[in-house]
Structure 1
Amino acid sequence: MADKVLDRGPWTGCAVLFLQSLCPDVNLLTLYKDQQGKRVIFKVIKLTLVDSAGGLGGCEMLKFHDADPFLGVEVKFVDLGACQQFLESYSSGAVGQSISQHASRILAPAQEFTVKTQLKAGTHVLDRCLDKLELCLQQIHLSQPERLRDEEIDQLEEELQREVLGPPVQRIPSNCFRFQNKVFEDRMLTAADVQNFANGVGRQWKHVGRTLGRECRALKDTAIDNLAYEYAREGLYEQAYQLLSRFVQAEGRAAKLSRLVKALEDCKLTSLAESILDIQPQD
């Protein structure tokens, strides 16, 4: 089943990791409501994801949830291999051990810290079927993230980077975005952007469409398949042109350049992103 899902293009999914401290002196929900405590929890979970998913390239935290007596951490996976590695680590108990080790060092250095965990994808409790890896992967894939990353997570990420690296050299304005260590003004997509995209994306237009479709209801799989059928005779240019035009029509002012560039990056089409941004090749 996992192979069939992977064949359809970029793989994404979502799961929520629920945590409850078994240490009498540490209540994660109480700690989460304190700004300093929230930063510590974020650091512990991030270190755990690095340990259990082979780094952060294949996953990211989206949001914290108050699920008394649990603290929930919503995790988005953008790589099948990273998700599989995380599930294997979770099944073996390595995720719980990693949380306990990092938390003992950061939260409760004077005592052993233990934690109770639960993993869910939508309404499915994955702890009940951890011996069925493909089923767990399918449930995570079906539980697509319904939101962008919470601004609170962005702030915590920035604070952690400042702690590790020092103050950033350049703070990006809210109306800009960063690509290849350069800052670009974020704006609505133009007709020229649509044409450049259609000219350069080729057969990868469906993959880009599904990536944009993670956060755009108008570009779900059925809509993309319908576009492929409806404009089959006109060829790849028209199919890609209609795809991005539909994205612009559906999203309105939210159809921003940064979203298209991020989708192209996710699909490993950086050269096309450079072309749309008019980045000249280095000699």
Structure 2
Amino acid sequence: MSAARTKRPRTSADSAPIWEGEPTAQSRADSAAGKDESSILLHTEGLKKVYDGRAVVNGVDIEVKAGEIVGLLGPNGAGKTTTFYMIVGLVRPNGGKVMFDGNDATEQPMFKRARLGMGYLPQEESIFRRLTVKENILAVMETQSYTKKEREEQCQQLMEKFGIDHVADNLALTLSGGEKRRLTIARSLVTEPKLLMLDEPFSGVDPIAVSEIQDIIRMLRRAGLAILITDHNVRETLNIVDRAYLIYEGQVRRHGTKDFLVNDPEARRLYLGEDFTM
């Protein structure tokens, strides 16, 4: 999705890429201008989706702020994935709105959402398996107005930041699950999105890789990125989010911090289970 973004000129405001783990030039400018950095970046209003006469999503409202990690949780068939895909742009809602950074993105195709700053990492592999790690990143950089020198420098920075510089010349198909996931995230940051939507980021990776990915997500939050996660690995998700929404039978039934949800009787009854522990 991110690679569809059109080229734009590089400016002095771009001198601190978001993957460096520091607030972006734009966020620093907003702060200096007195803007509220915790303002809502993404919110949905009454999202609804009907299949075969049944409302699988029925009036879902969520919000995500800049510099915040938010999770979407729920059992299979609850409407969690459909809600996520309506935000991404893969599924068209039958009602409600998707608002992003002051823009109504409800009817926008995915490539236009990407131009607004909505980045999406699908569950399935989105890397070029027969290209090297370095070539994978450089391929996305071709969509941006970097000079050749800038491409080389920024590519090296990304590989070092995500711990894949030692496999720079390896074909992507030879990477471990964790390395593939880190490469995918690195590629998504080339276009410097404001929001990163992660679909099952902890699926198919070992516990060490899960911890590394969680560290990367925290680093992106420190840089001011908004992050929306949906994953069936509930413990891994709750360990990383600031807040989470529990969707059940097409509606938000519970919403709050990890501590609130883990100790909430209704969240336990509907999804977590009575014996759930972190």
TM (norm. structure 2) is 0.29
Q: Which has the higher helix share?
A: 1
Q: Which has the higher strand share?
A: 2
Structure with more contact order per residue of length (Cα contacts < 8 Å, sep ≥ 6): 2
TM (norm. structure 1) is 0.29
